[in-house]
Amino acid sequence: MSHQEEKSIGIPEEKLINSRKRVRKHGEVFTPRRIVRKMLDMPAINEASQALTTTFLEPGVGEGVFLVEILNRKLHMVERQYGESLVQYENYSLLALSTLYGIELLEDNVKVCAMNLYQAFYDAYYRQLTKFDRKRKPSVVDSARLIIAKNIVQGDFLKKTSADGYPVVFSEWKATNLEREPRTIMVQRTEYTLPEIEAGIINIDGSVSNPKLKTGQLPLPFLHEDCHQPEMRYLPAKITLVYREEQEQIDG
């Protein structure tokens, strides 16, 4: 997709329902953007939505109207505080993007939500590219796509399962050098299942989640097809290079 094509995609016009059938079957009704903005304008929420590392998880994300509005607020903050150079903006905007998570039951909504988040990110990035008279970096947009793909998942929040019946898995993108306010941010990616998140479990940095069993299924090690596969972990990486998903084998 070309630079110009991406800029012209835009977010679809606002709608409150897709169809009466979906309302009856799934209770799907979208919140108007004006209501979303009023809700997010509440002082405590507005402050959180402009904080760089504050995370948000929406259990019924729909087409992403809440997360897009939060992302826009975070990106405006990034532009104000970290817009001295394009490199710094690229790094901090990706970190802001990495704090937004969503679960959605319906596949088409997941795709639209991902597209809307990406478009909001890209539109803000395009403004910075114009400001600095520079061309986009493929590593930045590829990392943005990867982060969105891992943070917005299709699944059932109540059952805590993804579309394939296995536990929902999210990635944490923890900045490891923010205390120095660097231009280039290093992150450690660590995966968690939703049940682990709810239980407050802290995984080892770099953990790669491999939910082998469907919810409620008893462990039968001799049936695991991947029981002899090496255990892996994610390597620390520049946030602009997370799209590479680099891993290393953990020594037995």
Query: 153-209 pLDDT, tens per residue?
Result: 999 999 999 988 999 999 999 999 999 889 999 999 999 999 999 999 999 999 999
| Residue 202 to residue 210: CA distance in whole angstroms | 16
Write down the pLDDT at residue 25.
38
What's the pLDDT tens digit per position in 81-122?
999 999 999 999 999 999 999 999 999 999 999 999 999 999
**Residue 47: band (very low, low, confident or very high) from pLDDT cuts 50, 70, 90:** very high
Q: Enter the tokens of residue 62.
A: 């729909």
Residue 22 predicted with pLDDT over 60? no
Instruction: Tell me what the pLDDT averaged over the chain comes to.
Output: 85
pLDDT of residue 184: 97
pLDDT single digits (tens) 48-67: 999 999 999 999 888 899 99
Mean pLDDT, rounded, for 219-242: 75
**3-state class (DSSP) for residue 66:** helix
With cut-offs at 50, 70 and 90, classify the pLDDT of residue 41: confident
pLDDT value at residue 175: 98
Average pLDDT over residues 113-142: 97
* Mean pLDDT, residues 214-235: 62
**Taking the model in full, what pTM does it have?**
0.82
Whether the pLDDT of residue 213 is over 90: the answer is no
pLDDT at position 183, please?
94
What percentage of the chain exceeds 90 in pLDDT? 67
pLDDT for 237 beyond 60: yes
Cβ atoms 197, 75 nearer than 8 A: no
> 37 pLDDT band (50/70/90 cuts)?
confident
- The pLDDT assigned to 152 comes to 97
Q: Give residue 36's pLDDT.
A: 73
**Whole-number pLDDT of residue 15:** 54
pLDDT of residue 9 exceeding 50, the answer is no
24 pLDDT band, cuts 50/70/90, is very low
Q: What percent of the chain has pLDDT over 70?
A: 79
**C-alpha 155 chain-centroid distance:** 15
